[in-house]
């Protein structure tokens, strides 16, 4: 189709006939990926940034509304927005309160058929620091629903692919901070993914892409502090046991899905940039600790086993070395395999480097078998960049310590990692590719 013919389809996106809307969108969808010859028809009319207020073009407004349509149409609408969201001009439009509240509420609803596509879109949007800030402060309206497996109904999620419960929950809606609910939904998604029968799953989506959202958030200082500030274990209640939100993510460093474990690995590394959190990050989960500036106590995170296990292979160690290791790494089976993705192996090594920036951190790593694990890793590593970072870590752990090294500063080897973690609205490497 020519550009003029495609433009003639745009008014049909809000036609009263659902079949007409679906046919028009299916013909336009092919022009949404980056590099498509007529992609500009979706972007024309958008303000070029600066101090101008974010505005919708007619076609973007229609796509946002079509995300609430019936299954086939909503599926294509979400796909189109995922493809288009690599353009920074759209970030403001897709982050405006009405649509942003719907998007997050839709992900939170356990019945949402397209929650994974919605999570992909949220992942792309949180590449922007402004969207991260909006998500950190976002409250969603929810009704307590004892009959629901998640015990609540997100009011703004109601749409064609996510009907309201019957009977409708009584009572008045409550505003609840969205991000703790997203963390719990992410955990529930992993459980759902293990159930083959979709009708018996706790959630329709596995929500793996929320790990990328958490990684993007943790690049920012407020985002890091969210994961390292104790909160009620049940996000729908203001009382009860408090725990660090990061503790709910740690178990996924060995998950079978690369997206999930990769996002979690990056979140852990980003949190390790905060030196004042190192005691809590490495303390056992039987000890109550605080992370300044918060004065609330919660159980230690004990992240070391979760960082080391992906780096460990089937090697056998001497009994003396074996006893140094955290219990989870002792006597691993001969079938144990290392993390296959070199980027993720590098991420975990960088986390260990960050934890080595203080004398206390280095001593803790030495006393818990880190050198033994990374020595075996180095002997089997085939990627030069990973090997180079392992060698830097070895040099730090095997160095002679003195009074002048009681508190080490930022490791020069990590300066490049810090630059990688700066938020860049135009950084397309962090965005999801065409789908």
Share of the chain above pLDDT 90, in %: 75
The pLDDT tens digits of the residues spanning 57-105 come to 789 999 999 999 999 999 999 999 999 999 888 888 899 999 999 999 9
Lowest mean pLDDT among 5-9, 314-318, 399-403: 399-403
Residue 381: which of 303, 313, 331 has the closest Cα?
Answer: 313
List the chain domain ranges.
1-95, 307-341+352-410
Helix (H, G, I), strand (E, B) or coil at 104: helix
* Average pLDDT score over residue span 127-142: 96
What share of residues in the chain are helix, strand, coil (percent, to 5)?
55, 5, 40
Q: What is the rounded CA–CA span in Å between residue 382 and residue 80?
A: 39
The pLDDT tens digits of the residues spanning 385-402 come to 999 999 999 999 998 887
pLDDT over threshold 50, residue 32? yes
The pLDDT tens digits of the residues spanning 159-214 come to 999 989 999 999 999 999 999 999 999 999 998 777 777 677 789 899 999 999 99
HSE at residue 191, side-chain half, CA atoms within 13 A, is 11
- Torsion sign, CA atoms 322, 327, 333, 336: negative
| H-assigned helices in 109-220 | 115-125, 129-137, 178-193, 210-219
């Amino acid at each position: 189709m020519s550009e003029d013919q495609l433009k003639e389809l745009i008014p049909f996106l809000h036609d009263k006939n659902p079949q007409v809307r679906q046919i028009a969108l299916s013909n336009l969808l092919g022009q949404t990926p980056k590099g498509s010859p007529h992609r500009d028809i979706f972007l024309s009319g958008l303000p070029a940034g600066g101090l101008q207020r974010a505005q919708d073009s007619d076609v973007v407004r229609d796509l946002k509304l079509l995300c609430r349509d019936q299954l086939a149409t909503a599926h294509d609408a979400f796909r189109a927005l995922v493809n288009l969201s690599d353009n920074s001009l759209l970030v403001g439009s897709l982050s405006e309160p009405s649509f942003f509240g719907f998007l997050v509420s839709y992900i939170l609803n356990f019945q949402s058929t397209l929650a994974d596509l919605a999570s992909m879109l949220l992942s792309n949007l949180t590449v922007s620091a402004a969207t991260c800030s909006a998500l950190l402060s976002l409250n969603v309206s929810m009704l307590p629903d004892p009959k629901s497996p998640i015990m609540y109904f997100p009011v703004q999620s109601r749409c064609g692919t996510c009907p309201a419960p019957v009977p409708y929950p009584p009572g008045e809606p409550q505003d609840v901070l969205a991000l703790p609910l997203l963390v719990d939904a992410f955990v529930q998604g992993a459980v759902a993914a293990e159930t083959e029968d979709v009708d018996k799953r706790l959630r329709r989506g596995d929500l793996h892409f929320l790990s990328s959202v958490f990684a993007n958030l943790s690049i920012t200082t407020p985002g890091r502090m969210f994961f390292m500030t104790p909160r009620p274990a049940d996000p729908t209640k203001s009382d009860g046991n408090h725990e660090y939100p990061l503790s709910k993510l740690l178990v996924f460093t060995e998950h079978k899905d690369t997206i999930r474990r990769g996002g979690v690995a990056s979140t852990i590394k980003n949190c390790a940039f905060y030196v004042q959190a190192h005691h809590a990050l490495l303390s056992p989960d039987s000890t109550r600790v605080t992370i300044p500036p918060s004065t609330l106590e919660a159980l230690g995170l004990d992240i070391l086993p979760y960082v080391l296990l992906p780096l460990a292979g089937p090697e056998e160690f001497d009994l003396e070395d074996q006893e140094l290791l955290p219990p989870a790494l002792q006597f691993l089976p001969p079938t144990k395999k290392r993390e296959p993705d070199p980027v993720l192996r590098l991420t975990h090594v960088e986390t260990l480097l960050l934890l080595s920036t203080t004398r206390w951190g280095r001593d803790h790593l030495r006393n818990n078998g880190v050198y033994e694990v990374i020595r075996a890793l180095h002997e089997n590593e085939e990627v030069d960049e990973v090997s180079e970072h392992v060698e830097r870590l070895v040099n730090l752990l095997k160095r002679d310590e003195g009074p002048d090294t009681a508190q080490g500063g930022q490791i020069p080897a990590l300066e490049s990692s810090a630059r990688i973690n700066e938020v860049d609205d135009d950084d397309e490497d962090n965005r999801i590719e065409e789908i």
